[in-house]
Amino acid sequence: MTETLASPDAGTDSPRMLYLNRRDIAAVGGADPELYVTALRAALVAHAAGRTVQPLKPYLRANGKQGHIADRIIAMPAYVGDPGISGLKWIGSKHDNPTARGLERASAVIVLNDPETNYPIALLEGSLISAWRTAAVTCLAAEYFARPGFTDLALIGCGVIGSTQLRALTRWFPNITTAHLFDTDPDAAHALADRIGVERPGIEVTVTGSAEDAVRAGEVVLPCTLADAPYIPFSWLSPGTFLANVSIMDVHKDVFLNADKVVVDDWEQSNREKKIINQLVLDGTFSREQLHAELGEVLAGTRPGREDDEEIILLNPMGMAVEDIACAAEVHRRAREKEIGTWLDLY
Ligand SMILES: NC(=O)c1ccc[n+]([C@@H]2O[C@H](COP(=O)([O-])OP(=O)(O)OC[C@H]3O[C@@H](n4cnc5c(N)ncnc54)[C@H](O)[C@@H]3O)[C@@H](O)[C@H]2O)c1
């Protein structure tokens, strides 16, 4: 797979890789759930069956424990089989990029490597892929865990991740009629409400006065905030709720302890870094045995999804390199097919 042909521009004999910026990625379907849901369905099943390789991701925090929880760079490597490809997402975050610099909080590049030579074969802008793969995980999970025909979404936190979740879910589930939005910055909630009003005129969007009002109204609940301490107790959740805990720190311990089913993407990745599951395990109140499943087991049919309309189901999706690399590989495959992107010489 490694490109060893001379670059059309430089005319030199050099290995080369394909660079795909955000516009290139969008041009091959990278701003739509279909590409991601398709790639993830296969990758998550492969992961649950042990057919992927995914080392634990290191967090680089230049300011150590003093820094904000969202100030970090994370290295996320994985090998995803069938057809095999290796890669790394290198994703940086500064919590005040939006407010202090007018930038998106997260930025990323993804490198794909040819498994035969381990040479880099592609470099992709990574934060678009990261946001859409996160939303597609929720779409896939909602197929199995949301009440069939659900109509009401609650979104807490209306930044890049929240807005991508809302756009993906409303495309994937035509049954959604209403979105309840809350953000500690009301301008962010109103801006997203206006945008959805234009993009999805059939959907009723309300901005609520509190997180509690939004959560109580939602059948599918999506926290996408920068919270570093929990604020959603079990008592806010109605029977039948599916809560996808995208931003990980928003949900109180009692939700993990009282939900009918707790599902994670990967147990090892979830049980670390003092996240809520890790705190519960250290407290001795939660364990792998109490977990209902890893998401891929449910997609593979080896564990059940929702079993009745009353169940309250919690998904704790830490986010996995396997997801990024599987999605980036599909973007790369489609870009090669359509001859989109810019070739870069390595030498
Ligand atoms: N699980 C995953 O796979 C995954 C993947 C990517 C991002 N994330 C997480 O998603 C979160 C959001 O990322 P983003 O890029 O959209 O950030 P962002 O800065 O663009 O947006 C965050 C929004 O949340 C609001 N907010 C912050 N704290 C809040 C609170 N306590 N209550 C309500 N609103 C609050 C902010 O005002 C802002 O509008 C981050 O925590 C990130 O780590 C998770």
Q: Which CATH number fits the domain that encloses residue 211?
A: 3.40.50.720
Does residue 7 lie in a domain region? Answer: no
Nearest CA among 196, 201, 197, 250 for reference residue 221: 250
Judgement on whether residues 121 and 249 belong to the same structural domain of the protein = no
Residue 16 has pLDDT above 60, yes or no: yes
Number of domains in the chain: 2
- Measured in degrees and rounded to the nearest 5, phi and psi for residue 216 equal -65, -25
Does residue 3 lie in a domain region? Answer: no
Average pLDDT, stretch 291-302? 97
Q: Report the mean per-residue pLDDT for the chain.
A: 95
Q: In angstroms, rounded to a whole number, what is the distance separating the alpha carbons of residues 184 and 218?
A: 18
The pLDDT, as a whole number, for residue 3 is 60
Judgement on whether residues 63 and 117 belong to the same structural domain of the protein = yes
Q: In angstroms, rounded to a whole number, what is the distance separating the alpha carbons of residues 14 and 193?
A: 49
Judgement on whether residues 49 and 146 belong to the same structural domain of the protein = no
Judgement on whether residues 66 and 175 belong to the same structural domain of the protein = no
Does residue 10 lie in a domain region? Answer: no
148-164 per-position pLDDT tens digit: 999 999 999 999 999 99
The pLDDT, as a whole number, for residue 286 is 96
Select from 224, 249, 272, 318 the residue to mutate for testing ligand 1; criterion: most ligand atoms less than 8 Å from CB. Answer: 224
Q: In angstroms, rounded to a whole number, what is the distance separating the alpha carbons of residues 43 and 204?
A: 34
Q: How far is the CA of 161 from the centre of ligand 1 (A)?
A: 6
Q: What DSSP line would sit under 97-147, residue for residue?
A: HHHHHSS-SEEEEEEEE-TTT--EEEEEE-HHHHHHHHHHHHHHHHHHHSP
Q: Which atom of ligand 1 is nearest to the CA of 231?
A: 31
Residue 7 has pLDDT above 70, yes or no: no
The pLDDT, as a whole number, for residue 26 is 98
- 77 is written with which tokens? 């490597």
- 36 is written with which tokens? 């991601």
Does residue 1 lie in a domain region? Answer: no
Judgement on whether residues 335 and 279 belong to the same structural domain of the protein = no
Q: What percent of the chain has pLDDT over 70?
A: 97
Does residue 102 lie in a domain region? Answer: yes
Does residue 4 lie in a domain region? Answer: no
59-103 per-position pLDDT tens digit: 999 988 888 989 999 999 999 987 799 999 999 999 999 999 999
Judgement on whether residues 209 and 268 belong to the same structural domain of the protein = yes
**Cα 119 to Cα 10, 191, 325, distances in angstroms:** 19, 43, 15
Judgement on whether residues 216 and 122 belong to the same structural domain of the protein = no
Judgement on whether residues 149 and 290 belong to the same structural domain of the protein = yes
The pLDDT, as a whole number, for residue 321 is 98
Judgement on whether residues 124 and 31 belong to the same structural domain of the protein = yes
The pLDDT, as a whole number, for residue 5 is 45
**Bridge partners (DSSP) listed for residue 204:** 178
Q: How far is the CA of 254 from the centre of ligand 1 (A)?
A: 22
**Cα 61 to Cα 5, 105, 277, distances in angstroms:** 40, 15, 21
Judgement on whether residues 205 and 150 belong to the same structural domain of the protein = yes
Judgement on whether residues 84 and 151 belong to the same structural domain of the protein = no
Q: Which CATH number fits the domain that encloses residue 26?
A: 3.30.1780.10
Does residue 11 lie in a domain region? Answer: no
pLDDT band at residue 345 under the 50/70/90 scheme: very high
Q: How many CA atoms are closer than 13 Å to the CA of 324, on its beta-carbon side? A: 31
168-224 per-position pLDDT tens digit: 999 999 999 999 999 999 999 999 999 999 999 999 999 999 999 999 999 999 999
Q: What DSSP line would sit under 249-274, residue for residue?
A: SSB-HHHHHH-SEEEES-HHHHS-TT
Q: In angstroms, rounded to a whole number, what is the distance separating the alpha carbons of residues 26 and 10?
A: 27
List pocket residues of ligand 1, CB cut-off 6 Å. 70, 98, 105-106, 130, 134, 156-162, 183-185, 188, 211, 224-227, 246-247, 317-319
pTM of the model: 0.95
pLDDT band at residue 9 under the 50/70/90 scheme: low
* Domain with 241 in it: 136-319
Judgement on whether residues 279 and 313 belong to the same structural domain of the protein = yes
Active site members: 89
Does residue 8 lie in a domain region? Answer: no
Contact 82, 46 (CB under 8 A): yes
